[in-house]
Amino acid sequence: MKRRTFVKLAGASAFAGAVSAPAIAQGVTTVRWWYHYDNPQNTPAALIAKFEQANPGIKIQAEAIPWGGGTDYINRMFSSVVAGNQPDCAMVRLAYLSRFGQMRALEPLDGYLTKWAERSDISDDVWKLNRAPDGKQYYMPLHYVVIYLYYRQDLFQQAGLQPPKTFDEFLNCAKTLTKDGMYGYGMRGGGGCHDNWGPFVLGGGASFDKGGMLTDKALAANRFFVEFATKHKVVPPSAPTDAFRQIVDAFKAGRTAMTIHHIGSAAEMVGALGDKASAVPLPRGPGGGGWTYFGDESNAIFASSKVKEAAFKWVSFLSSGDGNVEQAKLSGQLPITTSGLKNWTGHPKRFVEASFASLPIAQTLPDNVKTPDFVGRVLPTNLQRALLGETNPDEVMKAVEQLFHG
């Protein structure tokens, strides 16, 4: 081939490429979506295939992001926003909403939602809970969990105990069941410890309002919680650093008689212990107050996305009908739709009932830019020091108060 002919051919093919490229881009829209599941072996491939079949013009590029107690996921999320490499949409939690708001990172969904026929299949309470302080709706609710108490039915029966309804009953059960190498309460003092600390301290009278961590009631509630380790010794010595994997494995191995987590670990518990594992709502405080963590999960669309329409089709597919039911199965959580919940068979009934029964005291963490730091650093380090007896328990409360209110 002569040089001139080659150059002509190359030029022609480059031109053809340039002309055909937009046609391909117009034909298929790619939506990047970030997700995480507790069980990393679960994959949304079948769900995506079903969606793509119904929406031939849209391709979903799903990227699994490690959860890492929440810290890894959120780090990557905010770093990607700052770097301008965020996905089109992603699974998010209410605790991030303030930071997203400050970064003006999210697209309001109100315009899309008014035209969305499936909206009424999600209860108004959930929409209210997900609304941003500016009155707009940035989150599309996806599924949820409520933290409750796992307990060993067989051991309780043998000891003649009833599942605890109050803090004092809980302490009594934990004391009675701590024997022969078993500990009454598998406490989580490592990553994610807020969901163990909250029920006893926030449920015992503390609050995130200004001064709310330093009232007599709040300080007493925190001391009560810390004394499970320092005074009563009803938790394993490893409790200060035990995280999700350790508390679940210890319960499954029969090393603890009670532990605090949500329905996401029910399948594992039942797999190891069968009917011996059961669940009830968390106990109430001396004044009858209670608190448990409402583990919300939603999808949000980023303001920078060039394919917002397609992204909304995807996130609305995940929050409606069978799509929501399948998604809840993959995440191990509960469907957000009323219709999905009605016929839900994803978990044994007793765990679903314990989740519903916990709803009256379920709350989210405060919508504050400092909340991720509270969860990831301030509470774990200060609580661990108190649990080891290195500092006075009141220091935990001072540190939390200082973080939120200076």
Partner 1 sequence: MAPPPPGTAVQMNQAAIRTLTPYGFLVPALLVTALVILYPVAQTVLFSLQDYLLYAPDDARFVGFRNFSMALKDEVFWISLKHSAVWVGGIVFAQLSLGLVTALLLNQSFWWRGIARALVIIPWALPSVIIGLMWTWIFDFNTGVLNDLLIRIGLISQPYAWLASPQSALACVMLALVWQGFPFFAVMILAGLQTVPKELYEAAEIDGASEFRQFIHVTAPAIAGIVATAVLLRIIWVANSLDVILVMTGGGPGYTTHTLPLYAFLRAYSGMEFGYAATLALMLTILLLAIVWLYVRQQAKDLDA
Q: Which residues bind partner 1 (CB under 8 A)?
A: 71, 75, 78-79, 82, 99, 102-103, 181, 189-191, 236-242, 246, 249-250, 253, 255, 369, 372-373, 376-377, 380-382, 384-385, 387-388, 390-391
User: Would you call 256 helix, strand, or coil by DSSP?
Assistant: strand
Q: Work out how close the CB of 369 gets to partner 1 at its nearest, in angstroms, rounded to a whole number.
A: 6
Nearer Cβ to partner 1 (96/151): 96
Q: Work out how close the CB of 46 gets to partner 1 at its nearest, in angstroms, rounded to a whole number.
A: 29
Q: Work out how close the CB of 256 gets to partner 1 at its nearest, in angstroms, rounded to a whole number.
A: 8
Nearer Cβ to partner 1 (57/237): 237
Q: Work out how close the CB of 41 gets to partner 1 at its nearest, in angstroms, rounded to a whole number.
A: 16
Bridge partners for 156 per DSSP: none
Spatial CA neighbour of 109 closest among 96, 99, 119, 120? 119
Nearer Cβ to partner 1 (86/246): 246
User: Would you call 278 helix, strand, or coil by DSSP?
Assistant: strand
Nearer Cβ to partner 1 (106/354): 106
Give helix 266-273 / helix 244-252 axis angle, nearest 10°. Answer: 30
CA atoms within 13 A on the CB side of 133: 12
Q: What angle do CA 245, 249, 255 make, to 5 degrees?
A: 135
Question: C-alpha 275: how far from its chain's center?
Answer: 26
Q: Work out how close the CB of 110 gets to partner 1 at its nearest, in angstroms, rounded to a whole number.
A: 23
Tokens 């009670």 correspond to 258
Give the integer Cα–Cα distance in Å for 301 and 319: 14
Q: Work out how close the CB of 105 gets to partner 1 at its nearest, in angstroms, rounded to a whole number.
A: 9
Dihedral, CA atoms, 283, 289, 293, 298, nearest 10 degrees? 140
Nearer Cβ to partner 1 (217/276): 276
User: Would you call 257 helix, strand, or coil by DSSP?
Assistant: strand
Nearer Cβ to partner 1 (22/84): 84
